[in-house]
Amino acid sequence: MIGKILGAIAGERAAKHVRGLGGPGGALFGAGAAALIRRLGPLGLVAVAVGGYALKRHLDAKSAEQPADGQDNEMPADEAGQPGQP
């Protein structure tokens, strides 16, 4: 019972970071996750934690490759040598 409540609270907070998953949906997700973790056991819990950490590192590295200002790395038009300009 306590595991479902804690899972629901964690799911509701996680739903704030996931688009398309509202508060009640997050609570249901968290309660279901608590049941899943109980079935996986300790080794499954470690595997899920390591997988989540690896996914976070991958997404952070992918976002670091993109320019922060949302622009591409092309030369601005005024420096690109427009036709008719020296």
Task: Express each pLDDT in 16-25 by its tens digit.
Answer: 766 666 667 7
Burial pattern 38-73, b for ≥16 Cβ within 10 A else e, equals: eeeeeeeeeeeeeeeeeeeeeeeeeeeeeeeeeeee
The answer to the question of residue 44 being in a domain is yes
Range of the domain at 39: 2-64
Pull the structure tokens for residue 40.
């996986």
> Is the per-residue pLDDT at 60 higher than 80?
yes
Is residue 33 within 8 Å of 12, Cβ to Cβ? no
Alpha carbon 14 to chain centroid, angstroms: 10
Task: Express each pLDDT in 6-17 by its tens digit.
Answer: 777 777 776 676
The answer to the question of residue 51 being in a domain is yes
The answer to the question of residue 54 being in a domain is yes
pLDDT value of residue 54? 92
The answer to the question of residue 80 being in a domain is no
| Mean pLDDT for the stretch of residues 58-72 | 75
Count: domains in the chain: 1
> Is the per-residue pLDDT at 71 higher than 70?
no
The answer to the question of residue 81 being in a domain is no
The answer to the question of residue 59 being in a domain is yes
